[in-house]
Amino acid sequence: MKIKLIAQIAMALLMARFKQTIVAAFGVTFSITMFITLLSFMGGLNDLLDNLILNRTPHIRLYNEVSPSSIQPISKSEAYPDAYHFIAHVKPKNELPEIRNSEAIIKALREDNNIRGVAPKNTVPIFYHVGEISLTGILDGIDVDAENRLFTFKDYVVDGNSLDLKNTPNSIILGIGAAKKLLVQVGDNIQITTSNGTQFTLKVVGFFQSGMDELDKIQSYVTLATIQKILGKPASYITDIQIKLYDITKAPELTKKYNKLFETDAIDIQTANAQFETGSSVRTLISYAVGITLLIVAGFGIYNILNMMIYEKMDSIAILKATGFSGKDVNAIFITIALTIGLVGGIVGLIFGFGLSAIIGQIPFNTASLPTVKTYPINYNTKFYLIGAVFSLITTYMAGYFQSKKASKIDPVDIIRGK
């Protein structure tokens, strides 16, 4: 079998039915274009939604949960060593949510090669007061530099500057929802009250917007030093230690390790956001299903066009076989036709898909709930283009294969006799 001759004959048949060839290639091009655009857009959307959680969520969180003691006093009694203990109305342990030995724990974590950064935090429920208006809220004391580095805190400060929180004594950054309810502006003073009745006056230096409306209605931020002053606690008082890893997949394993090592409660990001990750997986699965369906439909289109080509080229096939071409040669000719259509249509489709994705990525997308997003999200993942290219060749090959088997079995004697 002469490869060069096979290619020449395949090209001649393609050019002889040029319009049908263009239609078949356009079907592949359209399918690949829509496949790339759909997956790029859905990938960008998933990245956007994931980042809303991942940017503001530690990979591992160490804390001290208020819960009942696992060992009750009666269990330590020697009077009833073999008895079952039925205890009702168990009360939580009489201890504060403070992490013991927090300074030593933070130092040990910063020396761990798995950890990219550590951000200590204090969280306390409060009431906001402005005149006659009072709202419940949550006040977080943060290390501003660590929050900016690990959780891009500054990107979510929509009015004011995150560094003003560190540079201005007794200052606060309010959630945008809480600020609107309290009718305050940057530079105003508000009064807060803690759960134990302590009142404190703070200056508003900025507004924070996470994109989650319910959170923005209650959340606010001060520095660690300020919240420790409000609570009357020493500089070692920490209720949460937030950890960012180099490899997020190690979070469950390291969570168990730190839980035992530091004797604190610990939770990893996968456990904390399992429902959200499931939603992302489902959206990705739907995108792939729709995209692959488009490619399969294009394959059926090529199958039909090759079927018509074989029907119309019965005489040519008979002449080829009568002049010495075997069934394998005829098989190779029609597979070459199909792969040529798939290759040309696929390459053009990849280019058009990239171009259409780039156009969508430049369309303005301004929404008050997502202040960091300026255009529609697009993910230019190379994997999408590789999948599109492979599937364009596979679907067109399968379409050509079945038709080439049919063409290779044509008996030239029957065709010539029929003429």
> pLDDT tens digit string along 43-62?
888 777 777 667 778 889 99
Distance CA 310, CA 168 (A): 81
The token duo for 75 is: 């269990």
Query: Whole-model pTM above 0.85?
Result: no
Q: C-alpha angle 190/193/199, rounded to 5°? A: 80
381 or 2: whose pLDDT is higher?
Answer: 381
Quote helix, strand, coil % in the chain, to nearest 5: 55, 20, 25
pLDDT confidence of residue 93: 58
Assess whether pLDDT exceeds 70 at residue 379.
yes
Q: Please state which of the ranges 119-123, 130-134, 194-198, 415-419 shows the lowest mean pLDDT.
A: 415-419
pLDDT confidence of residue 173: 93
42 or 120: whose pLDDT is higher?
Answer: 120
Assess whether pLDDT exceeds 90 at residue 101.
no
Assess whether pLDDT exceeds 60 at residue 94.
no
Q: Please state which of the ranges 18-22, 41-45, 169-173, 185-189 shows the lowest mean pLDDT.
A: 18-22
For residue 222, the surrounding DSSP H or E stretch is strand 219-223
The token duo for 266 is: 């610990």
pLDDT confidence of residue 413: 63
Distance CA 124, CA 113 (A): 31
Assess whether pLDDT exceeds 80 at residue 121.
yes
pLDDT confidence of residue 220: 92
Domain ranges of the chain: 3-54+276-418, 60-65+95-269
Q: What percent of the chain has pLDDT over 70?
A: 78
pLDDT confidence of residue 354: 93
Mean pLDDT along residues 283-311: 71
Assess whether pLDDT exceeds 60 at residue 330.
yes
pLDDT confidence of residue 407: 65
Assess whether pLDDT exceeds 70 at residue 297.
yes
How many H helices and E strands in the chain? Answer: 16, 10
Backbone angles phi, psi at 217, to 5 degrees: -80, -20
Out of 4-8, 125-129, 287-291, the most confident range is 125-129
Distance CA 342, CA 392 (A): 6
Distance CA 171, CA 162 (A): 11
Closest CA to 209 of 199, 197, 200, 217: 217
Backbone angles phi, psi at 166, to 5 degrees: -80, -35
Mean pLDDT along residues 59-82: 72
